[in-house]
Chain A
Amino acid sequence: MAEETKTEPKQKTSSAKSTESAKKIRYIVKRMYQKAQQAKEQNLKVAYCMVMCNYEEILEALDIVQVYTENYAGLCAVKREAEQYMKKAQAEGYSDVLCGYAQVGIGFDAWRHELGGAMPPDAPDGGMPEPDVLLGCSMGCDPRWKWYQALGRYKNTPIYNMEVLMPPSDADFDAIKDYYVRYMAEELRGLIAFLEKQTGKKMDYDRLTAIVKQVEETRQWWRKAYDLRKAIPCPMSTQDHFVIFVPHHMLLTDPMTLDFYKGLYQELKDRVDNKIGVIDDEKYRLLWGVGIPPWHSMYILDYFQTFGAVFAAETAYMIPEHFEMPSDISDPVELIALRAFERNSAVQRRGKEAGGIPPLAQMHLERIRDFTIDGVVMHVTRSCRAATMGQILARNVIRDYYPRLPVMFMESDIVDVESYSEAETKNQIDTFMEMVDTYKKSST
């Protein structure tokens, strides 16, 4: 217990949760790191990974323990323990505006290297175990593979960086499909060959197929649960979403995860059936627009609730798009490759069909329409270009379609608490909520 207390945040940084499902996550996260730390004792290989790279099923089928380094950085931020690692990375010559997650991760491993391989002292949740392989991917942003390359300064760990394609927004999707899927499949096969060599195991393709199917079922349940948030009053808030994504993104292949989302669906259905909302008197419904949240100060989202506002949806840490598994493809690698293409081009296709709406904006327009949104909050994060660039574009497109809908840009960072001013943020929220109120009154 004493150790647990040591790794609890120095001050409360979390937000209020409305569901019982969300309240289970802290335990799940602790268990996840405990299991990762025990992996070596069980002769299991550990991989440093990035979320949403389409390789989760492959790792599971080869019994590789997955450690998601970006999310460990987020955990450090939640506990207000990120700064020590960022300072270490900066002392090693890395820029203070580099991806905050990468700064934390590089600082952590540079420190471990300095300690001759020992865990940095008092590492949150016991720290990340030493990896046996580093698995970066191009999906999402450049630091998600560059970071692991940079770790070559401190480790000789074998690395496989993998391409995950994001087709251009206006592509001729039918024309490019074959070679996009083929490249993705080759990248996955390359990964399997690399992992077979590192683990000494052979891929069991039947097992892989079963895992892929299980994952799709998991996603269906999460999607069904998510859709229930369209209800008025909204049964679950973004505050809950930003922990509820954890099983999907980091424990995707764990059988517990399927049960978790089934449970979430049931809980939200009960709440909807009984008209139980996040707050008693829901006056306004907000969208958390693209932007990774301020992990260091999540409680600021609760401040919106004091105005009667509920975050009913978000465009961050989203559920992958629906994918209908074709019955004529038996090779699970082909299936994963096709799934990646269909998912990563789905919003683009809809935006193109809608007359050339950029995909990021299209996601916002869909949420605004489907979740009856009265205002949008976007988080401008100093150290995350990928989740920030395009926010103004999304706002400009929203203005074209919903000219009076208020959009607020909240400025801070994903991990660096120094970039956050509570007083300024609250002032900004006060003004924004006045605008939301005006909008709501004029539109009803």
Chain B
Amino acid sequence: MAKIAQRGLIRARELYEHREARAKELSKKGKKVIGYFCSYTPVEIFTALDLVPYRIQGKVGKPVDQAGQYVESIVCPYVRSCFDLALSGEFDFLSGVIIPHTCDAMHRLYDIWKYHLKPPYSYQLYVPHMTHQASYEFFQKEIESLKTGLEQFVGRSASEKDLIKAISLHNRSRSLLRELYEMRKPEPPVISGTEVMWVLVAGMTIPIQEFNELLEDVIAEVRSRKPSAENKPRLLISGSEVDDNTLIHLVEESGASVVMDDLCTGSRFFWQDVDTSKGVMQGLAERYLNITCPRTYRPGKAAQRFSYLGDFIREWKAQGVILYTIRFCDTYQLDAPEMKDYIQSLGLPVLFLEDTYVTSPTGQWKTRVEAFLETIEARRE
């Protein structure tokens, strides 16, 4: 088992590189670790029950091997990669798995996972696609059902006090992450997109208390840095699952700074706090259903639906946007052309990349990224 550094960015990087290390260690010590997918799983419930939330991710660069016997080749390659890792035993330390019904791939993955892997505990959380008033009320009931299911599994219950404490810990984490993202605002930013990804991924694999400590360390470390004089093109990346550094590292190596994101492994999963003023469960339902993923219907034209993206662009002074989609992701791909229209209407160039997740065409990307950066440089001049 990999020995992980104790503090700061080096710890974040090592946890990023050995994602399962800490969770496995905790599992060996008798802690129950629950795997989950998507930003829509309300992990506060896990924390309230003293369960360790572990976000299941695939492995970029590792070709899908055994999963071909279980999951069709024309479906989300991220999902196939995750299932492939599960088949090879990489997630054997998990005591259970929560797969929310967020998109078609997740919906169908649940039965495949349950039938073939037979986890000790599994649950499918139905996340409404709509955002009507009744959708929130329904989702609240679904979260209550998830809580009941987990309570039965662990043989104890989470009181309101436990939940409030857990929410407070997760809100603290969100607040620290937003503070970290503030450090991407200066020109040039004092933390790179690559480093931010280490932190984000690390946080998805360890208990929330440890993540908060890590964030405090990282913030202190980054704050002590001396700003450099470099003035690189500033980019925002929008997309779905980006849990590997290949693309962001490539962009930054090519001479740009990734200063903001709109990713389900980035801002989308932590931007909003849970507001408990109207009740704990209502707060959770509202917070999670308000995540701005294309899988949830939000009425209105592009300018209304993507206004949050416009805010990010303005506040982080982005000069270009990379739209990154995973092949076969219908929900993102149905939004992408309108999203592109919207960003272009703000006067920013857009680079659209479609990826197969496991075999990213880095050579081709490099050429396209460099050409894109030249466009931005020309505008800056």
Given contacts A142-B295, A170-B124, A392-B72, contact A94 B134 (CB under 8 A): no
B126 CB within 8 Å of chain A: yes
Given contacts A153-B338, A183-B138, A389-B71, contact A98 B132 (CB under 8 A): no
Contact A141 B130 (CB under 8 A): no
B299 CB within 8 Å of chain A: yes
162-188 of chain B: CB within 8 A of chain A: none
Question: Which residues of chain A are within 8 angstroms of B107 by Cβ–Cβ distance?
Answer: 166
Contact B74 A388 (CB under 8 A): yes
Question: Which residues of chain B are within 8 angstroms of A179 by Cβ–Cβ distance?
Answer: 137-138, 141
Complex: A152 Cα to B304 Cα, angstroms:
12
Chain A window 224-258, contacts with chain B (Cβ cutoff 8 Å), 1 for yes, 0 for no: 00000000000000000000000000000000000
Question: Which residues of chain A are within 8 angstroms of B221 by Cβ–Cβ distance?
Answer: none
Question: Which residues of chain A are within 8 angstroms of B126 by Cβ–Cβ distance?
Answer: 165-168
A50 CB within 8 Å of chain B: no
A2 CB within 8 Å of chain B: no
Question: Which residues of chain B are within 8 angstroms of A98 by Cβ–Cβ distance?
Answer: 330, 333-334
Contact A97 B302 (CB under 8 A): no
Contact B331 A392 (CB under 8 A): no
Stretch at the interface among A13-21, A25-33, A53-61, A355-363: A355-363
B314 CB within 8 Å of chain A: no
Contact A389 B75 (CB under 8 A): yes
Q: How far apart are B371's CB and chain A's nearest CB, in angstroms?
A: 18
Question: Which residues of chain A are within 8 angstroms of B333 by Cβ–Cβ distance?
Answer: 94-95, 97-98
B301 CB within 8 Å of chain A: yes
Question: Which residues of chain A are within 8 angstroms of B138 by Cβ–Cβ distance?
Answer: 163, 179-180, 182-183
Question: Which residues of chain B are within 8 angstroms of A159 by Cβ–Cβ distance?
Answer: 299
Which one, B130, B141, B325, B330, contacts A161 given CB within 8 A?
A: B130
B2 CB within 8 Å of chain A: no
Contact A393 B112 (CB under 8 A): yes
Which one, B105, B122, B341, contacts A389 given CB within 8 A?
A: B105
How many chain B residues have a CB neighbour from A under 8 Å?
Answer: 56
For A152, A170, A171, A390, the residue with the greatest tally of chain B CB atoms inside 10 Å of its CB is A390
Question: Which residues of chain A are within 8 angstroms of B103 by Cβ–Cβ distance?
Answer: 142
Contact A150 B135 (CB under 8 A): no
Residue of A nearest to B108 (CB): A389
Residue of B nearest to A156 (CB): B301
Q: How far apart are B87's CB and chain A's nearest CB, in angstroms?
A: 13
Stretch at the interface among A41-49, A260-268, A379-387, A434-442: A379-387
Which one, B137, B294, B295, B334, contacts A147 given CB within 8 A?
A: B334
Contact A153 B341 (CB under 8 A): yes
319-357 of chain B: CB within 8 A of chain A: 325, 327-328, 330-331, 333-338, 340-341, 352, 354
Residue of B nearest to A386 (CB): B104
Which one, A97, A145, A167, contacts B297 given CB within 8 A?
A: A145
Which one, A167, A359, A389, contacts B104 given CB within 8 A?
A: A389
Q: How far apart are A90's CB and chain B's nearest CB, in angstroms?
A: 10
B278 CB within 8 Å of chain A: no
Q: How far apart are B107's CB and chain A's nearest CB, in angstroms?
A: 7
Complex: A254 Cα to B145 Cα, angstroms:
40
163-194 of chain A: CB within 8 A of chain B: 163, 165-172, 175-176, 179-180, 182-183, 186-187, 190
Question: Which residues of chain A are within 8 angstroms of B364 by Cβ–Cβ distance?
Answer: none
Complex: A278 Cα to B142 Cα, angstroms:
48
Contact A385 B75 (CB under 8 A): yes
Complex: A380 Cα to B75 Cα, angstroms:
11
Which one, B69, B74, B295, B299, contacts A385 given CB within 8 A?
A: B74
B153 CB within 8 Å of chain A: no
Contact A388 B341 (CB under 8 A): no
B101 CB within 8 Å of chain A: yes
Q: How far apart are A228's CB and chain B's nearest CB, in angstroms?
A: 31
Complex: A359 Cα to B337 Cα, angstroms:
35
Which one, A161, A356, A388, contacts B115 given CB within 8 A?
A: A356
Contact A99 B338 (CB under 8 A): no
48-78 of chain B: CB within 8 A of chain A: 69-72, 74-76
Complex: A102 Cα to B295 Cα, angstroms:
16
Which one, B101, B130, B294, B334, contacts A168 given CB within 8 A?
A: B101
Contact B302 A152 (CB under 8 A): yes
B128 CB within 8 Å of chain A: yes
Question: Which residues of chain A are within 8 angstroms of B124 by Cβ–Cβ distance?
Answer: 168-171
Complex: A94 Cα to B336 Cα, angstroms:
8
Question: Which residues of chain A are within 8 angstroms of B232 by Cβ–Cβ distance?
Answer: none
Question: Which residues of chain B are within 8 angstroms of A95 by Cβ–Cβ distance?
Answer: 325, 327, 333, 336, 354
Contact A391 B354 (CB under 8 A): no
Complex: A360 Cα to B109 Cα, angstroms:
12
Contact A142 B115 (CB under 8 A): no
A372 CB within 8 Å of chain B: no
Question: Which residues of chain B are within 8 angstroms of A170 by Cβ–Cβ distance?
Answer: 114, 122, 124
For A187, A381, A391, A392, the residue with the greatest tally of chain B CB atoms inside 10 Å of its CB is A392
Question: Which residues of chain B are within 8 angstroms of A190 by Cβ–Cβ distance?
Answer: 132, 134
Complex: A99 Cα to B301 Cα, angstroms:
22
A162 CB within 8 Å of chain B: yes
Complex: A187 Cα to B302 Cα, angstroms:
24
A283 CB within 8 Å of chain B: no
Chain A window 391-405, contacts with chain B (Cβ cutoff 8 Å), 1 for yes, 0 for no: 111001100000000
Question: Which residues of chain A are within 8 angstroms of B128 by Cβ–Cβ distance?
Answer: 138, 163, 183
Question: Which residues of chain A are within 8 angstroms of B337 by Cβ–Cβ distance?
Answer: 92-94, 150, 153
Contact A97 B135 (CB under 8 A): no
Given contacts A168-B126, A187-B132, contact A149 B297 (CB under 8 A): yes
Chain A window 90-130, contacts with chain B (Cβ cutoff 8 Å), 1 for yes, 0 for no: 00111101110010000000000000000000000000000
Contact A380 B330 (CB under 8 A): no
Contact A102 B334 (CB under 8 A): yes
286-314 of chain B: CB within 8 A of chain A: 294-295, 297, 299, 301-302
Which one, A143, A171, A361, contacts B334 given CB within 8 A?
A: A143
253-294 of chain A: CB within 8 A of chain B: none
Complex: A161 Cα to B327 Cα, angstroms:
25
For B124, B128, B327, B330, the residue with the greatest tally of chain A CB atoms inside 10 Å of its CB is B330
Question: Which residues of chain A are within 8 angstroms of B365 by Cβ–Cβ distance?
Answer: none
B111 CB within 8 Å of chain A: yes
- Those 10 A-B pairs whose CB atoms lie nearest each other, nearest first: A186-B134, A93-B337, A168-B124, A358-B111, A183-B138, A179-B141, A146-B334, A138-B129, A389-B108, A95-B333
New contact pairs (10) apart from A153-B302, A380-B74, CB-CB < 8 Å: A138-B130, A143-B334, A168-B101, A169-B110, A170-B124, A183-B134, A183-B135, A186-B132, A356-B114, A358-B115
Report 17 cross-chain contacts, Cβ distance below 8 Å, ordered by A residue.
A142-B330, A142-B331, A142-B334, A149-B297, A161-B297, A168-B126, A187-B132, A359-B111, A385-B76, A388-B72, A388-B74, A389-B72, A389-B75, A389-B105, A389-B109, A390-B111, A392-B72
Binding site for B on A (CB under 8 A): 92-95, 97-99, 102, 138, 141-143, 145-147, 149-150, 152-153, 159, 161-163, 165-172, 175-176, 179-180, 182-183, 186-187, 190, 356, 358-361, 380-382, 385-386, 388-393, 396-397
